[in-house]
Amino acid sequence: MRLPIWRLALGVAFAGSIVGYLFWSYGYAPLTAELLEHLPKPAVHEAAPQPNNVSAKSYSWSTVTAFPLIDSRLIENATRDELCRHFPHDKLRDIQPVLKTGHGVIDRARHSLNSTSACLSNIIIFSDLAHETGLDGIPVIDILADIPKALLEKTEQTLPYRELVAMQANGTLSTEKMSNLEGWRTDKFKFLPEVSRAWQLSPNKRWYVFYEGDTYIVWDTVFRLLDHFDPDIPHYFGSPSPGREGAWFANGGPGYILSRGAVRALVKTDWDSRTGEWLGPSLTVKYFDDILGMCCGDDVLGWVLAKSGILLKGLWPMFNPHNLHGVPFSDLYWCQPVLSLHKSTETDSVDLWRWEWNNRNPSSPATYRDIATTFFDFANMTRREDWDNGEWDAYRPAPENAGRSDESVSDCSRACENAEGCFQWTYHLRQCYFVRSFRYGRSKQPVDEEDRPDREWTFEEQRFTAGWDVEKIVNWMDARPCDNVDWVKPSLERIF
């Protein structure tokens, strides 16, 4: 049966009015608490294990990069801005990056904007002090100013922040006036307000990625990962740490990701239900006394999320508390995608960022194996003076393996070569240390040790010397080609 033309026209007009109303309501009207509860939820299906899983603890996803392929000859001499023209900016329509910093460590944010954050046209930067000129033209927002003044003034814990604001007002401010330690004391107050303000500034994003000025984020991995999850389910991803009352929280250093569903649950009481006016971070007010009794803001956030019924989904080692030079390569850090690294230096971040552009695989994310084999090139490592590679996974050799290992650098090297499971070594103060994983390490100046006053040490004895058993490392790497990417499933048993 055919409908009369007038009925069809009426139906189309009615549908159009509904669509127009929803567009007006959710696009331009104030986001009241009621609207927050009834935002439209797209039909995105949650990721499920596929029949050919790598293991019961991993997804066997096939992923494709959102980045275009670029001729490596163009990358070599390209400027930051030239490379950023090839960044998939359309992905930022769904993802809100949020960088948290502090006045005492503001240079970390500057460094981030030259590497991992360089191409993020919509980035939000929160600090403990507003900067009128911003960073690279990006506003720096004083997130602690969102906390009611009466609360800030009732505790000595916020005194460093209040002094900082006063110094800015009277013109006596300098970076040196607030040490890193003092900044850390007030840092815990930023975590809840930054979630509220991020939504207020950029509402209804599918995902919110929170990280620090010294966090390195591999955005290609972020994009591939989040494509497999429903943003309207409350998700909280990060590297797990045990927290208050049995709750797990995401270590803030490697960053964490909240879905739209999770953020919506946290901010739903931050708006006046009648006027739509943003009232500020209500959960900060509600739990302020609890925050005073806790050491760290990432613990605060995890605890509050848990009280809201949103539990952490641990994705270590993709979220990695190690820095680039400190990654202890082993089966724990090998076929898994690299999503983030913590305590990244400016040089490391810039080098890794350019390495990403040169080595991006269209069908596979960057894995730890990729970094070990092409960024560090462990197959060609040589002995280094004034270098320590034994700050993680190091141990003193058992008596049956020790031999003359403490006698000299060469003896230490030979002992490691002859010991099963020793991949590298560090020699210092006539003691040999074996390492059960392999890592790049860092430079370290000669030093004595207060707990070994048994003799006078020569300058040469105080030096650190490090080496790698290259043959053993190459054989180990060749036996693990990573034909399948280990997309780890969320777990609170697999932890750092």
CA-nearest of 98, 92, 129 to 112 is: 98
* Tokens representing residue 162 in the block: 């209040």
What proportion of the chain, given as a percentage, has pLDDT over 70?
A: 86
Nearest by Cα to 105 from 75, 119, 122, 125: 125
Residues of the chain whose pLDDT is less than 70?
A: 1-55, 175-181, 450-454
Letter for the amino acid at 33? A
* Token duo for residue 296: 């760290």
Output the six-digit token pair for 277. 């006016």
pLDDT in tens, 415-433: 999 999 999 999 999 999 9
What is the predicted pLDDT for the residue at 182?
75
Give me the residue spans of the domains in the chain. 61-320, 380-496
**What CATH class has 61-320?**
alpha beta
pLDDT in tens, 42-88: 334 454 333 333 458 999 999 999 999 898 888 989 999 999 999 99
> What is the pLDDT at residue 30?
39
* Residue in 426, 212, 458 with CA at minimum distance from that of residue 340: 212
460/453 Cα distance (integer angstroms): 17
pLDDT of residue 176: 60
The tokens for 415 are: 């002992």
